[in-house]
Amino acid sequence: MEPVLIVLVVLVVVAFIALIKTIQVIPQASAAIVERFGRYTRTLSAGLNIVVPFIDNVRNRIDLREQVVPFPPQPVITQDNLVVNIDTVIYYQVTDPRAATYEVASYIQAIEQLTVTTLRNIIGSMDLESTLTSREVINAGLRGVLDEATGKWGIRVNRVELKAIEPPTSIQDSMEKQMRADRDKRAAILTAEGARQAAILRAEGEKQAEVLKAEGEAQAAVLRADGEAAAIRTVFEAIHDGDADQKLLAYQYLQTLPELAKGDSNKLWIIPSEVGDALKGLGGAFTGLTGGANGAAAAAPTATQVPLDGAGRQSVPPPAGPRPLDTDTKGAARPRVEPTREYPKIDPE
């Protein structure tokens, strides 16, 4: 009984192990490679799978989800012989588990080395400024080369990102100074533009103010001229209706003479002939009233010039011809000095 029992126990154990090896459960978004006697047989998909125990061998399980692999910074030389450190990140996904297993030994290491090589080729054809400002171009170039090379490995490169591009320290200092200068330049340009706009607006405002002021002065002058014209018209009509004689006009003219004598340059008065005729009549009237013998006004010329002194007073020169002689206290003859006749200045007030 004991040998039979031992055989039964061995059979049960073998059956249990065979059952375990027969049933293979593959998780979602994963795949497994099955080999039979060392040769590829099939690829197991997600779910419950049955294999032949002790004959079929599940080699490895492959994750079919998108993977993110960051690579350490790599020193790269630019076209202008500057060394920059570039940190990259690769987003890839296994599309063919069989090719990823048998076409390349380690696709992670292969992708890393291919990325470094491609990155050096791309950066080597660009200068530092282009490298810093053309990240999209570098990413597109890397993705194109990697996707073409990894396609036969059963891998699709979805994205390639440059995390950081670090130039040398001296270049960083120079770039910082340049950026600061650019910011100061832009600030100065904006300030100057603002001052220019403010000056333009201020000039426009002053221009409009001057235009409005000129228009107001013009309207005031027009109204003032209209008022003066109306006043003159009223006075003229009053004089015309009142039938004023020449004596009244001469008297009014004499009243305006002090206004003419206000200026220092007014040294000479011109009396029109009409006013002279009126003065003749006015003088005759005064002579008839006073009974005097002064007929100088009646003999006034048609245009009389009366000089003025510096104080605005009328100055009448002595008559022409030889002056009469006077005798002094000792009986000696001397010329007679005629006193200058002065007329009082008429206050215009």
Homologous superfamily assigned to 67-167: Band 7 domain (3.30.479.30)
pLDDT score at 344:
45
d(CA 78, CA 60): 42
CA nearest 139: which of 112, 114, 163, 168?
163
pLDDT score at 164:
85
Which stretches of the chain score pLDDT less than 70?
1, 242-349
pLDDT score at 310:
45
Q: Which residue has the tokens 């891998």?
A: 155
Whether 67 contacts 91, CB under 8 Å: yes
Phi, psi (deg, nearest 5) at residue 177: -65, -40
pLDDT score at 270:
58
- How many Cβ atoms are within 10 Å of 103's Cβ, its own excluded? 15
Helices (H), the chain: 2-22, 97-102, 107-124, 128-133, 135-150, 169-242, 246-260, 273-290
Pairing type for strands 56-63 and 67-70 reads unpaired
Residue 340, C-beta contacts closer than 8 angstroms, at least 6 positions apart: 315, 316, 318
Write down the pTM of the prediction: 0.48
pLDDT score at 8:
81
Which tokens is 238 given?
A: 């009053």
| pLDDT single digits (tens) 283-336 | 555 455 444 434 443 444 444 444 444 444 444 444 444 444 444 444 444 444
